[in-house]
């Protein structure tokens, strides 16, 4: 069984030249440190004003934390939250907007452009970064900086991009105190690593290893409910791409039921190469859960394997992160099966080098 390869630490280390495994397995520690950074941040008086909207701007690993915030807080926050992934901000941004500028390196060109746009629109600005040009500009212009540790691949800094920003919103008064939910989330992630998903939990008892084995040389398609868990599906797709060097796609329910479900008829010759992952939660609305049951039957009837992944924990925040953390480890184990180092992202580096020539 190919999954058994994942029980051999020598094989893992052979391909994991940059020790991605340690970064993923220490994620609970990062979350704890990130929460400490958020709690230690002194809120400037300028941010205590009312905000008519909140815009997070960033790309890639620096934006996924914002996606989680938008999705997690959908039923609590009373002002719109938008995640911007472009050079410019929407026209509605003005002096009553709060713009959270997130660039892990501090040098992402799209994000720096959006920062300048936010400044020109006289928005309230907070920067989240490990340094670089963004930190320099924000400090020069007198905007607060949530400084986070550097030296990680941006996608491995999710804790730093998420928890300080979440705590910031609670300090502003937009949401209630999150301490209890954060503590439960950290504890649950640590337990998942130690007892269920970590490298020393053997195949057959390790859900992440077993899913990775099912995805080997297949095209994963990830479905979730729109309510709160679209961000988890997005994270799975991003991690499969960057860590596993594997293409995948995502969609959400109920929208998927109004178009994509019909596409599960062709191309007939390729359907055998697809595997569907359905991310499920005990809190999924009853009609969404029923829809998931039905699409599982439809897709399975096409002789396509369907794997259901259930969330863990009590608090909504915990359940979201349990699915995200499972996907992170699936992507790592699939990288090993693909015999590739999960850390390097050569195509992204090449793209930036080519852009830098003009």
Give yes or no for a contact between 232 and 327, defined as CB atoms under 8 angstroms apart: yes
Give the total residue count for the chain: 358
Question: Could you give the CA distance from residue 348 to residue 65 in angstroms, rounded to a whole number?
Answer: 20
Q: What DSSP line would sit under 149-205, residue for residue?
A: --SS-GGGGHHHHHHHHHHHHHHHTSS---HHHHHHHHHHHHHHIIIIISTTSPTTT
Question: 217 to each of 5, 106, 347, how far by Cα in Å?
Answer: 15, 36, 20
Residue 63 CA to residue 114 CA, distance in Å, equals: 13
Distance from C-alpha of 148 to C-alpha of 161, rounded to nearest angstrom: 8
Report which secondary-structure segment, H or E, holds 82: strand 81-84
| Cβ proximity of 292 and 280 under 8 Å | yes
In sign, the C-alpha dihedral spanning 256, 257, 262, 268 is: positive
Closest to 313 in 3D by CA, of 195, 191, 197, 229 = 191
What is the rounded (10 degree) CA torsion for 23, 9, 201, 211?
A: 80
Active site residues: 242, 258, 352
Closest to 140 (Cα-Cα) out of 93, 96, 90, 106 = 106
């Amino acid at each position: 069984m190919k999954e058994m390869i994942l029980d051999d630490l020598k094989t893992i280390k052979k391909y994991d030249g940059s020790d991605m495994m340690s970064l993923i397995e220490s994620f609970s520690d990062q979350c704890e440190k990130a929460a400490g950074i958020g709690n230690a941040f002194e809120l400037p008086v300028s941010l205590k004003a009312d905000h008519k909207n909140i815009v997070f701007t960033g790309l890639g690993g620096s934006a996924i934390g914002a996606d989680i915030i938008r999705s997690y807080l959908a039923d609590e926050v009373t002002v719109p939250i938008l995640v911007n992934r472009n050079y410019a901000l929407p026209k509605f941004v003005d002096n009553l907007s709060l713009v959270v500028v997130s660039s892990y390196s501090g040098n992402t060109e799209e994000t720096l452009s959006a920062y300048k746009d936010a400044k020109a629109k006289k928005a309230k600005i907070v920067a989240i970064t490990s340094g670089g040009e963004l930190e320099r500009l924000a400090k020069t212009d007198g905007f607060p900086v949530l400084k986070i540790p550097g030296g990680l691949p941006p996608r491995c800094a999710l804790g730093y991009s998420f928890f300080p920003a979440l705590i910031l919103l609670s300090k502003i008064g937009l949401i209630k105190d999150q301490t209890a939910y954060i503590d439960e989330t950290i504890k649950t992630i640590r337990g998942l690593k130690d007892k269920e998903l970590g490298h020393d939990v053997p195949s057959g008892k390790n859900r992440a290893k077993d899913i990775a084995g099912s995805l080997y040389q297949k095209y994963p398609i990830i479905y979730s409910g729109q309510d709160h868990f679209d961000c988890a599906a997005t994270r799975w797709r991003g991690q499969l791409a960057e860590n596993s060097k594997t293409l995948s796609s995502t969609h959400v329910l109920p929208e998927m039921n109004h178009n994509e479900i019909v596409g599960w008829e062709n191309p007939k010759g390729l359907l055998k190469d697809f595997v569907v992952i359905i991310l499920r939660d005990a809190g999924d609305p009853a009609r969404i859960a029923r829809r998931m049951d039905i699409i599982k039957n439809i897709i399975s009837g096409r002789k396509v394997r369907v794997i259901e992944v259930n969330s863990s924990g009590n608090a909504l925040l915990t359940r979201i992160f349990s699915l995200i953390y499972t996907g992170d480890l699936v992507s790592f184990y699939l990288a090993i099966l693909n015999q590739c180092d999960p850390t390097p992202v050569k195509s992204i580096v090449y793209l930036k080098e080519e852009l830098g020539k003009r």
